[in-house]
A and B are shown apart, each in its own frame.
Chain A
Amino acid sequence: MTVPVLLAVLAASIIMATAIGAVAIPPGVTLRIIAAKLTGLLDLEGIAANTVSIIWQLRLPRVFLGVLVGASLALAGVSFQGLLRNPLADPFTIGVSSGAATGAALAIFLRQFFGLSFPQMVPLFAFAGAFAALFFVYNLAKIGGQVPVETLLLAGVVVSSFLSAVISLLMVLAGENMQGIFFWLSGGLLMRSWPEIWFVLPYLAAGFLILISYARDLNVLLMGEEAAMSLGVNVEKTKKILLVTSSLVTAAAVSVSGMIGFVGLIIPHAVRIVTGPDHRILLPASALVGASFLVWADVVARTVLAPQEIPVGIITAFVGAPFFIYLLRKKKREIRL
């Protein structure tokens, strides 16, 4: 029940968010353009070519990317919270995003000072950074073939703070040109288009399938690792699969959108309050809510101070924090796993 409703909400959000912008385009026209482009069955007679291109080349990719990034972060957030059995965990907790940020900062730095440049350089560097951080944290946390949750958290925090120092150093070295790095760190969907979408989509799709197939194991893991073992779950293997999957989903999203905070933390909690902790519902529901949330946050980011843009990470935090407090005070279910 929950999932179809959320799916409808997301579809409506996509159309409305695409219609909103500096040039007002009615939602009906927007829908027609999207339908025509996607199916190739409708004709676009009577619609200005430049309207079509605003929708198809500028707004829709951005909205779609919002969908993918929002879903990825929320999904990874659910997985990390369940895996680490820690309500404060989010996709950034174990240092993957710090790795991505360091990679991106390095790419921007190299481009500015050494003129090194190639297409998709920043996302590729970010992804490599995320992967390196995951590799490092994982091996740091591994003790005799096992990855205890506590050491994983600690290793993540340590690596994160180390990488923060590296980023700060790069920003200091960049001097007056540090704005590029700063903007990337704040997170945003500006100037993104179809290539980024094709970059993120496979990770999200594969990640979702893997995570949903481990939904019952995630539930059982919440009862404690020993209980999970006696219920027949291969705990260490499951943890490794969940860890790597969630990290890759996070890494792909962060590589194209920067550090968009709060989505991966609050969306899982907000959804859990409504659906309960069963991951078989929690995972898809959180992905859908995360997608809708980021789409609307991005609408606010690009319209509220138009023509100036605000990094969407600022909006998510601005909206997210008070909303979270509201949930915390209002609802019967407590904020826990």
Chain B
Amino acid sequence: MDLKIQDVTFAYGEHAVLRGTTFYVPQGSFLGIIGPNGGGKTTLLKLLSRLLLPQGGCILLGGQPLAAFNRKDLARNMAVVAQDTMASYQFTVEDVVLMGRAPYLGRFQSESLADYEIVHHALAVTGCSHLRERLITELSGGERQRVMIARALAQQPKVLLLDEPTAHLDIGYQQEILDLLKHLSLSEGLTVVAVLHDLNLAAYYCQKLVLVHNGRIHASGHPSRVLTPENLEEVYGIRVLVTPHPVFGTPQVSLLPGSRRRQRKVAPPVHIIAGGGSGGELLRDLVEAGYTVTTGVLNVGDSDWEAARALAVPVVAEAPFSGISEERHKEHLAMLEQAGAVVLAEIPLGHGNLLNVEAALAAAEAGKPVFILEERGEVERDFTGGEGAKLLNAVKAKGIVIREKVGLYRALKEIFGGPLNLPAEAEPPADK
């Protein structure tokens, strides 16, 4: 069964929660509703499950207006898994799942063998068979949530609505439950609509996302069209990087430092020599701390290059998969001239980037403080047959070897003075 939501409006008293919402959920699809708190997600789900009635517009379930279904008929076609489940009653798991058969039973009819079979199947599918005799009050949050899904499945619905089904679960259970929902939608044609908080899980599992914000649909469609940095900045006020999933290519959202205004340190830049992901965390922390940061030479497409770009850090960039050219090296040396301190991240040494180490050596010889980060220490990272190690040792002789990033941050603070970016210091407390 499909769901059609047409221009639905809803308000709690004067407070408008949904102002004209329209979208379509095809049969057998897995749709995720995402959006910030208070944006209307849960209200939307309650409207879909007829716990609330729309004040304008209409909702069609399988082509029929939702309002036209009688109660039991609706419960046979649509099941709901709520966000928080009360568990202050001492029913056994089997009793609870058996309640899913209530819409099929008359007032004086008791459960038949077929009903028990359906219940046992629902328990098996959700991995709850071993919990059958246990009391619902004794279960962990994850187990209870799976039991609630089993109860919903015992209703043999065509449409399943879930409000943050993975809210209190660890990553293992999150995956298990979402895998199950995905499987049901793909193999049994179950239409699944779930409110989800985790954008990456939503992108990974859902065929279609609806981004709800301020009572409106801000964007909808394939995850790659909804989860754009622009949309997420507008809706959540966050800065993110969206990259394809390394294996499946679904969009993955990574946080970037907040867009709040940082107290800029008036000081010469800190230059970071990195590559291959060795410098991303450093770049982020130093930018967050308020330093002016430069970096180079990095290949275009390198993860540190991505990081520098996302953080708006000036970078000397070389073409992808190329060794450092003479030109870029010169550019790099010129950049280093301006630096107040240099950090050599724990990069693997290959023929392609030896010039970067030479640049560090040049900076050290010019009397600049050079920090050599060696957190992993003994791990072999020279792939040049000795040449790289020799060069690195020369740098070490003139620089300072740092074993932990915090040591580096403390040393930089010594050089440039004062803690940075601490609100209490940046803005002295107002006098009373």
Residues of A within 8 A of B (CB): 85, 213-214, 216, 219-220, 222-224, 226-227, 229-234, 272, 276-278, 333-334, 336-337
Contacts and interface: CB of A to CB of B under 8 A. Distances in A.
B79 interface: yes
A23 to B, nearest CB: 46
Contacts of A230: 49, 51, 75, 78-80
Contacts of A231: 75, 99-100, 102-103, 155
Contact of B107 (A213, A229, A334): A213
Contacts of B137: 334, 336
A223 B82 CA distance: 11
A281 to B, nearest CB: 11
Nearest 7 A/B pairs, CB to CB: A232-B75, A232-B103, A230-B80, A232-B72, A222-B89, A232-B71, A337-B89
Nearest to B96: A223
A214 to B, nearest CB: 8
B312 interface: no
Contact of B89 (A213, A216, A232, A277): A277
B92 A276 contact: yes
Q: Which of B46, B79, B103 is most buried by chain A, counting CB atoms within 10 A of its CB? A: B103
A interface secondary structure, majority: loop
Nearest to A272: B90
A219 B96 CA distance: 9
Contact of A276 (B91, B102, B105): B91
Contacts of B7: none
Contacts of B90: 272, 276-277, 333-334, 336-337
Given A227-B86, A234-B71, 19 more contacts: A213-B108, A214-B107, A216-B102, A216-B105, A219-B91, A219-B95, A222-B86, A222-B91, A229-B51, A230-B80, A231-B100, A232-B73, A232-B74, A232-B75, A272-B90, A276-B90, A278-B95, A336-B137, A337-B90
B105 A337 contact: no
Interface in B33-88: 46, 49-51, 71-76, 78-80, 82, 85-86, 88
Interface string B88-119: 11111001100110110101100000000000
Contacts of B85: 223-224, 227
Contacts of B78: 230
Contacts of B103: 231-232
B108 A233 contact: no
B308 to A, nearest CB: 50
A48 B92 CA distance: 56
Nearest to B155: A231
A195 B167 CA distance: 60
B78 to A, nearest CB: 7
A333 B92 CA distance: 12
Contacts of B75: 230-232
Contacts of A229: 50-51, 71
Contacts of A224: 82, 85-86
Contact of A223 (B50, B51, B74, B99): B99
Contacts of A234: 71
A232 B91 contact: no
Given A213-B108, A277-B89, A336-B90, A233 B95 contact: no
A336 B79 CA distance: 27
Contacts of B107: 213-214, 216
17 contacts: A216-B102, A219-B91, A219-B95, A220-B99, A222-B89, A224-B86, A226-B80, A230-B79, A231-B155, A234-B71, A272-B90, A276-B95, A277-B89, A278-B95, A334-B137, A336-B137, A337-B89
B181 to A, nearest CB: 17
Nearest to A227: B82
A220 B96 CA distance: 8
Contact of B82 (A226, A277, A334): A226
A132 B82 CA distance: 39
Contacts of B105: 216
A213 B155 CA distance: 21
A222 B86 CA distance: 8
Contacts of B89: 222-223, 277, 336-337
Contacts of B46: 226
A3 B198 CA distance: 50
